[in-house]
Structure 1
Amino acid sequence: MTSDLSDWPIAAAMLPFPNRLPDGTPLHEASAEQWQPLFQEIAEAGFDRVDLSDNCFRPGDMSNAQLDALASVIKSARLKSSSISVVRASVIDERHGDDHLAYSHRSLDAAARLGIGTVSIGLHRPLTEAQRRQLWFWTVEGHRDDPDDRAQWHKAVTRIRELGQHAAELGIVLSLEMYEDTYLGSADSAVAMVEEIALDSVGLNPDIGNLIRLHRPVEPWLEAFRKVLPWSNFWHAKNYMRDEDSQRGHYVAFPAPMESGLINYRQAMKLAVEAGFRGVICLEHYGGDGLSVCAANRHYLRDRVLPACRHVTPGASRVRQPRQE
């Protein structure tokens, strides 16, 4: 938990980086010497923290020796590992749910070895072939969790609670990423799930950016934030420009810098502080020079948004906030 807004933990996601070397070797199987330039690049962009997004690295599939080597490389780049984001590994996937559950447990163990206090998971599935063919994958509908399937809902609650208990034993917080058409796909559903899990080690990742980018009607971003921020303990933050003409059924969205998009992060961050949020902010961006956009977003938060939050009275969160070094 940070008490100084000027030192709020803001991390770079690894979305802009490929997960394989030019010869096809998975990045997490490469050598420390091959990892070094990547983390040095993140540091040179102005970051002091990095989120180990598993679209790039898969800590849950790395040996202890590999994890120790990774920790050494990150430290040598003068970075800290703030979090692990496990993506597209739904524990209720009909074919791979058992494997994803085991992988999520291993990711928690990896986080503990790396000294990381936050692990984010979600219920979203791998991209379909149709989604992969699109410039922006969110313009094509993917898998939908059945809102009327109470057995599947209960399975999600049970398995996430199991992970949350493991996280608590390790002194880690588990965060659930909001994502369209899953049981975490709306503010009400996400809050209902974390309430039913009923562990203070389990909170929400209020990635409302995943929702406002949809080319269809969406719930107002401010209303959604007001509902989920009291339950939030980690934050994938990004923004999108959005245009709507509901009478014509016209909805368009595309990535934008944080200060330029639909979400007013100055307002959202004030609400977060007021709600007791003290978690890591992990900056994401799709398209173009994503790292540079994230670096500009970091300056925006540090120089303009966080100073404005000093006048906000901090509240008490509904869930435990992560430890910060």
Structure 2
Amino acid sequence: MDPGARPRLAVLGAGSWGTTFARVLADGGSEVALWARREEIAREIREEHRNSAYLPGHALPEAIDGTSRLEEALEGADGVILAIPAQSLRDTLRAWPALPDVPVLSLVKGIERGTDARISEVIAAAGGVDPGRIGVLSGPNLSAEIAERRPCASVVAAPAQELAEELAGWCEAPYLRAYTSTDVVGVEIAGAVKNVIAIAVGAATGLGHGHNTTASLITRGLAEIARLGVALGGRPETFAGLAGLGDLVATCASPLSRNHRLGLALGRGLDVEAAAAEVGQTAEGVATARAVADLAERRGVDMPITRAVVAVVDHGARIDEVTAALLSRSTRPE
């Protein structure tokens, strides 16, 4: 790309997060091709500059062009941004032609169920992408608030600092500040596991417990995230930063969080299917919980909150009994 030229970026996935982030990129000065699976969504983005299905009430900049043709989105792209649900990402990548030899930034948070692979590992294996050009973004980034252009920060992690800085440069909208990291493992684990903890916190709230309970679960949840992340090679300081504590607090405390809302519904007595239907959009923590628990078991990492969520969402345990068991564990050093 010529120095000073506006990057041309392909955002693959026109759900609420992909569309919101496409606007961040356009507000930061990039030309954006936003790929939608359905042509009617792509046409509305292209012709009316809106996505009423996934981002109602928000106009999209003219710098965003919509398309349902993948090859058109990728043509001439200086970079690719992936915003595909975690559990369908592998099959989607396998069905696509090879991605161009450009940097790839993942907005996807989760652990793949069945393989327990991190998302960057899925992109490398299924998409044939060199791991050295894959970056990940995480942080306290509730899409509804970013759609309102409210100030926030994110962290972009990549294997090399130079790539992290390039990717972060794409994201520098007036209301979003991007920090850099080379701890890809830590940022991915933090971004995935916080969704599981948010379900537990939401469930406790739904059961009528107060701030002491939720603060306890958030704090111990952060300890679980850090234990697993460090065991997998992440750096301890990552979990005290935007991708760790920052994202965890936002996801656990906000009614805008899908995982928090799903937990609330579970706490009110709904089963997982009914709770998911009430939320209406993908809550990645449900599918991620089992993968996280499997990873923890293989590494010998104690994650009682995660196990409790798995007991509820996978095995039909009663949320009130599981919560009571969590809070009555035997005395041990913090």
Q: TM-score range by the shorter chain?
A: under 0.3
The structure whose residues are more often helix, as a share, is 2
The TM-score normalised by the length of structure 2 is: 0.26
Which of structures 1 and 2 has the bigger CA Rg? 2
The TM-score normalised by the length of structure 1 is: 0.27
